[in-house]
Copies of this chain bind each other. A is one copy, B any other.
Amino acid sequence: MEKAKKLLEELKGLEFSKMYNEDFLLTWEKSDDEIAAVFKVADILRDLRESNVSTKLFDSGLAISLFRDNSTRTRFSFASAANLLGLEVQDLDEGKSQIAHGETVRETANMISFMADVIGIRDDMYIGKGNTYMREVSKAVREGNEAGVLEQRPTLVNLQCDIDHPTQSMADMLHIINYFGGVENLKGKKIAMTWAYSPSYGKPLSVPQGVIGLMTRFGMEVVLAHPEGYEVMPEVEEIAIKNAEKTGGSFKKTNSMAEAFKEADIVYPKSWAPFAAMEKRTELYGNGDFEGIKALEKELLAQNANFKDWECTEELMATTKEGKALYLHCLPADISGISCENGEVESTVFNRYRDPLYKEASYKPYIIAAMILLSKVKDPAEVFEELIKEEPKRFRS
C-alpha cells in the first residue's frame, strides 16, 4: 500500500471540495485540481484493491444505471465501480428508443431513487438530447431531496452523452499518465485524435470530443484529424482551444491522417459520424421520419466509403515518434480483416497493442468509482487514512 499512501499525500494537496454532492457531467466543468483528484482517487482505489483492502464505503444503497444505448463494457464498468464501493446496481430498462419528456423524467427519476446514492446514465444517440436529459434528471432528484421525498440526493455520472464521454477520456488519460510515468512528463507530447474508416454509421462524437476537451489541459500538442465533413461540435473545439492556450499546449486541426500521425507520441484513430449528419438524424427522429433515417444511414455509409484509406496501418505507425507511438482505442475497434474487411486499424498494429489497450480499459471502473466517491464523501482523505490504518479485507482468503 505504499503507492496508495504516496497518492494520498498528493491528494491532500488538491482543492476539490466543490465536487462534494455534485454530478460529473463534463470534464471541462471541473477544475484542474478536481480532474487530478479523480486520477489520484482512482489509483488509490486500485492499489487498495490490489492489496486486498475493501473500499466498501457503503453498507447498503443502490447505484441506478440507465442505458439508452446498448452497452456491455460501460455497463460492467459501472457495475464494477458500484460493487467496489458497496452499492448494488439496479438497471432501469427504459427501452432503447423511448425518449421521455419533462414530467415523466421528473417523476421516474424520483420513483427509482428512494435508496439511490448514484445514477449513471448513458444517452449518446441524439445531438442536443443526452446531456440535457442528464441535467433534467439531476434537477429532479435534487428537488426531490429538498422536498423530503428522497433521504439522500443521488449524484449523477455521465456514462456517455452527445457531448462528452468523461469516464472514457479520463480512463484514457490515466492510462497515458501512468504509461509516461506521471503527468509531469506529458508537456509537449503530441497526441493525434484522428478519424478512421469504419463500415458502420452513426458512431457517437463523444469520444473525439471528450478527448480534445480533456487532453488539451496537460500541455500536450493535440491534433484533431478527420476528412472534410466529419467535423465535431464547434463548442467543444472552442473549449479545446482555450484549454491549450491556458496550459501552454496546442490544439490543431488537419484533414490529413499522415500529418497527424507524424512524430506523434500517442495516436487515437477512431471512427465517428459527421456532426451535421447527427444533427439531421436527431431532427428526423424527432419527426418520426424513419424512412428518412434509413436513407440518411445509407448516405452516411457511402460517404464513409470515400475514406477507406483513413486506416491505422503499420506504415503510418512507422512515422510516429520512433515508430512507437502509444495506440489508444475505446474498444471495440473495427479491425481490418478480423471484424470487417476494411476497418479502423490493421490487425498487426492492433495485436501488438492488445495488452496496453486492455489496460487502458481497465482504468474505467476505477475512474467511475473515483467520480462517485468524490461526489459522495465529504473528506476522502480521512476515509482513506482510516482504510489504510484498519485494512478491512476485501477477501478472506
**A229 CB-CB contact with B under 8 Å:** no
Residues A112 and B76 in contact in the complex (CB < 8 Å), given A49-B151, A395-B57 = yes
- Assess the B46–A56 pair: CB atoms within 8 A: no
A interface, by DSSP: helix, strand, loop or mixed? mixed
**A396 CB-CB contact with B under 8 Å:** yes
Q: Which of the four size classes fits the interface of chain A?
A: 35 or more
A148–B151 alpha-carbon span in the complex (Å): 40
One digit per residue, 1 when the CB lies within 8 angstroms of any chain B CB and 0 when it does not, for chain A 58-85 equals: 1111100000000011001101100110
Stretch at the interface among A211-219, A235-243, A273-281, A331-339: A331-339
- Assess the A376–B395 pair: CB atoms within 8 A: yes
Closest-CB distance, A207 to chain B (whole angstroms): 16
Which chain B residue has the least Cβ–Cβ distance from A74? B111
Please pick, from B77, B83, B147, the residue contacting A358 in the complex, using a CB distance under 8 A: B147
- Assess the A395–B144 pair: CB atoms within 8 A: no
- Assess the A57–B355 pair: CB atoms within 8 A: no
**A262 CB-CB contact with B under 8 Å:** no
- Assess the A147–B355 pair: CB atoms within 8 A: yes
Please pick, from B84, B89, B147, B386, the residue contacting A359 in the complex, using a CB distance under 8 A: B147
A383–B115 alpha-carbon span in the complex (Å): 22
**A361 CB-CB contact with B under 8 Å:** yes
**Interfacial residues of chain A within 78-130, with CB under 8 A of chain B in the complex:** 79-80, 83-84, 86, 88-90, 92, 103-104, 106-108, 110-112, 114-115, 117
**Interfacial residues of chain A within 32-46, with CB under 8 A of chain B in the complex:** 46
Residues A83 and B62 in contact in the complex (CB < 8 Å), given A115-B365, A149-B358 = yes
- Assess the B114–A362 pair: CB atoms within 8 A: yes
- Assess the B84–A115 pair: CB atoms within 8 A: yes
* 15 pairs from A and B in contact (CB 8 Å cutoff): A46-B151, A55-B60, A57-B396, A60-B86, A61-B83, A72-B112, A76-B112, A106-B354, A107-B358, A114-B365, A117-B395, A147-B355, A149-B359, A149-B361, A383-B396
A-B pairs, 8 with minimum CB distance: A80-B115, A149-B358, A54-B59, A147-B355, A57-B396, A76-B112, A73-B111, A114-B365
